[in-house]
């Protein structure tokens, strides 16, 4: 077993929408052949863990189910330990991850608000219900701090700006369970069982992926695919690298191995 490991972001690194990016599948195969373990770490909050895993498998991106980490799986465990009556501001596609938990019931004050990329669910009414719960003292648990993501039609708003909206309105700070939060990266490092400096994060989001992982002490490579924009290079933390795509990033890792 190798004494190093890799964390991959999914959207914009391995997938463009539903389609594997060039060399994505080959890169994972090469790591497997080199006996280098990897986890997939996504802030996607529009699909349940099971649906996401199935979609990945269907396009040839094969990973053990417990090597796919989503903020919702972390949140589900957090809620079991901390909350009785959560109010969910999430996408319907994510609901399955929380089916085992009880949701807020009418006339009962929620004791936590869980926010992900709710898409069309970000209505005034839903946001205001969440705002009132937070003002009444419920902690705000954020599944993603990402500002935007790449869709085939262009960039789209992610959960981050809506988390900021509620933080600003209520004068509080959310508990972040997605990237770039330390809790999410900490869970990934715990599963790998390796010191952070033996781990490399490969992502297309310079803040959520690269700055977040580097703050935990990992190596990091920003790929120039997905949501990458040339100005992102100025935000690279010291020591982080840049590569044209996931294939080039993995070439570099294997060459250094």
Q: Which residues bind Mg ion (CB under 5 A)?
A: 9, 11-12, 204
Q: Which residues contact 76 (CB under 8 A, 6 or more apart)?
A: 97, 98, 100, 101
Choice between 158 and 187, CB closer to Mg ion = 158
Torsions phi, psi of 140, nearest 5? Answer: -100, 115
User: Which residue has 């901390």 as its token pair?
Assistant: 82
| Nearest alpha-carbon partner for 4 in 190, 194, 188, 189 | 194
Q: Nearest distance from residue 179's CB to Mg ion, in Å?
A: 9
Bridge partner residues of 11 (DSSP): 15
Q: Nearest distance from residue 223's CB to Mg ion, in Å?
A: 9
> Closest-CB residue for Mg ion?
12
For 7, the token pair is 């964390």
Choice between 11 and 116, CB closer to Mg ion = 11
Q: Nearest distance from residue 21's CB to Mg ion, in Å?
A: 11
For 234, the token pair is 């100025």
Q: Nearest distance from residue 38's CB to Mg ion, in Å?
A: 15
Choice between 21 and 138, CB closer to Mg ion = 21
Choice between 9 and 145, CB closer to Mg ion = 9
């Amino acid at each position: 077993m190798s004494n190093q490991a890799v964390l991959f972001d999914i959207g914009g690194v391995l997938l463009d929408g539903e389609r594997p990016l060039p060399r994505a599948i080959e890169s994972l195969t090469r790591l497997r052949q080199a006996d280098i373990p990897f986890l997939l770490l996504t802030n996607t909050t529009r699909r349940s863990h099971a649906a996401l895993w199935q979609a990945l498998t269907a396009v040839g991106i094969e990973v053990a189910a417990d090597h796919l980490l989503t903020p919702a799986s972390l949140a589900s465990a957090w809620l079991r330990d901390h909350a009785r009556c959560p109010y969910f501001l999430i996408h319907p596609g994510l609901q399955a991850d929380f089916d085992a938990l009880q949701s807020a019931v009418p006339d009962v004050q929620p004791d936590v608000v869980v926010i992900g990329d709710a898409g069309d669910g970000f209505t005034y009414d839903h946001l205001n219900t969440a705002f009132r719960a937070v003002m009444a003292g419920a902690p705000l648990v954020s599944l993603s701090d990402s500002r935007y993501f790449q869709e085939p039609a262009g960039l789209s708003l992610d959960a981050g700006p809506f988390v900021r909206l509620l933080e600003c309105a209520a004068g509080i700070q959310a508990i972040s369970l997605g990237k770039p939060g330390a809790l999410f990266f900490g869970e990934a490092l715990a599963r790998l069982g390796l010191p952070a400096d033996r781990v490399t994060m490969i992502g297309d989001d310079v803040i959520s992926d690269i700055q977040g992982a580097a703050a935990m002490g990992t190596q990091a490579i920003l790929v120039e695919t997905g949501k990458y924009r040339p100005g992102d290079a100025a935000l690279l933390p010291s020591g982080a690298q840049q590569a044209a795509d996931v294939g080039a990033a993995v070439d570099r890792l294997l060459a250094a191995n």
